[in-house]
Amino acid sequence: MSPRLLGIAIVLGVALAAGIFMAARFSTPTQLQAELHTAFLLPAAMELPEFSLVDQRGDPVTRNTLRGRWNLLFFGFTNCPDICPATLQILAAARTELAAIGQPLPRIVFVSVDPERDTPQQLGKYVDYFGADILGVSGKIAELQKLTSTLGIFFAKRPVDGDTYAVDHSAAVIVVNPDANFHALFSAPHNTANYVNDLPIIMAHYEPRLVATDVVISAPLPGTHSSAGFLSLANNSATEIRISSIVSPQFETVEIHESTLEDGVARMRRISELVIPAHATVTLQSGGLHLMLMRPTLAGDAVSLQFFAGETLALNIDTSIVRRVK
């Protein structure tokens, strides 16, 4: 990238950060913001739009792909000679330093805004150079614009010589939280030490929208093919959450059931939708609401559960079956 383009990228990144900062200075707790070197927290996390892209393996990438873990999004293109590789090297170095001190590691997501040249194969070779657990993403321009317009990311093709071209783009790094919401921003120029200081602070003060506690998955009794699941689900958000389906790779079917005792008769019925009110906790326990995990498909005690609110992945749980002591 030429000095002129570098200046454009920096100005765009700083302008985006400045707009967020002006709002955040009145809404973000002063003490928390003061602990951060360069990151700017949004006054309220912003939900990402629905989009459909592909990764370096050709697998689909949607908003749900970003759920369940922290992600660092950087937009660029593989033919960028300096800003893009330098930024990815800084992010990779920050992850290495965070790993050394036992901190959770965000995933790096490199989003190419040059889908014409950056095929999945090209993206795969490019991101692999910077280490493991880096997602390379691209797709149709219209789908990219759904994401970039929400995040305030600029990009545009610019002719260079003959049939060649460069891509001008914002140089900011976007922090996406495990709810797939735009949570914070690092503006250019980037520095490894700033990420090592700021990311643990940002992640430590994050409160997930939906949290599961006291999870117990019982083993099927001899001669049966069903397990029961008990847990508490806390909704930390200001809006209700409606769980409409639950999926597990270890079981053919997972449903929400309710047990009742009426006039001495025990009954159980399937619940089509579990409503968790805003700022409330719903407990699934023996004798009431509970999970029914039916027809195991995989051996072993590990269990993964994905809770969906419509098409949206609301919660992912990894746990183990509790074996009864004989």
Task: Say if residue 189 is preceded by a cis peptide, omega within 30 of 0.
Answer: yes
Q: What is the pLDDT of residue 309?
A: 92
Same domain, 185 and 234: no
Q: In this structure, what are the phi and psi dihedrals at residue 185, rounded to the nearest 5 degrees?
A: -145, 140
204, 220, 246: which is the final residue of a domain? 204
170, 204, 238: which is the final residue of a domain? 204
Same domain, 121 and 137: yes
Same domain, 257 and 293: yes
| CATH at 43 | 3.40.30.10
Q: Where is pLDDT greater, at 130 or 21?
A: 130
Average pLDDT of span 52-72? 94
Same domain, 216 and 235: yes
Same domain, 180 and 274: no
pLDDT category of residue 324 using cuts at 50, 70 and 90: low
149, 181, 204: which is the final residue of a domain? 204
Q: What is the average pLDDT value for the chain, to the nearest integer?
A: 88
Amino acid of residue 80: C
> What are 32's two structure tokens?
């928390």
Q: What is the pLDDT of residue 4?
A: 42
Same domain, 220 and 193: no
Q: What is the pLDDT of residue 29?
A: 52
pLDDT tens readout for residues 108-136: 999 999 999 999 999 999 999 999 889 99
Whether pLDDT at 176 is above 90: yes
Q: What is the pLDDT of residue 21?
A: 41
Same domain, 108 and 200: yes
Same domain, 19 and 116: yes
User: What span, in angstroms and rounded, lies between the C-alpha atoms of 256 and 128?
Assistant: 42
Whether 258 and 271 have beta carbons less than 8 Å apart is answered as yes
Same domain, 81 and 200: yes
Q: Where is pLDDT greater, at 24 or 140?
A: 140
User: What span, in angstroms and rounded, lies between the C-alpha atoms of 187 and 12?
Assistant: 9
| CATH at 269 | 2.60.40.1890
The boundaries of the domain holding residue 245 are: 210-322
Whether 282 and 233 have beta carbons less than 8 Å apart is answered as yes
Same domain, 187 and 228: no
Whether pLDDT at 105 is above 70: yes
pLDDT tens readout for residues 208-237: 889 999 999 998 888 888 999 999 999 988
pLDDT category of residue 25 using cuts at 50, 70 and 90: very low
Whether pLDDT at 154 is above 50: yes
- The total of structural domains in the chain comes to 2
Residue in the block written with tokens 């792909």: 65
Dihedral angle, C-alpha 251, 252, 256, 258, nearest 10 °: -90
pLDDT tens readout for residues 299-321: 888 999 999 999 888 898 989 98
User: What span, in angstroms and rounded, lies between the C-alpha atoms of 15 and 280?
Assistant: 39
Q: Where is pLDDT greater, at 19 or 117?
A: 117
> What are 196's two structure tokens?
């090592």
Q: Where is pLDDT greater, at 289 or 298?
A: 289
Query: What residues contact 287, with CB distance under 8 A and at least 6 apart?
Result: 259, 261
Same domain, 42 and 187: yes
Answer yes or no: pTM beyond 0.75. no
Query: What residues contact 298, with CB distance under 8 A and at least 6 apart?
Result: 249, 250
Same domain, 86 and 198: yes
Share of the chain above pLDDT 90, in %: 69
CB atoms within 10 A of CB 267: 9
Q: What is the pLDDT of residue 3?
A: 42
Whether 105 and 69 have beta carbons less than 8 Å apart is answered as no
pLDDT tens readout for residues 186-204: 999 999 999 999 999 999 8
CB atoms within 10 A of CB 192: 16
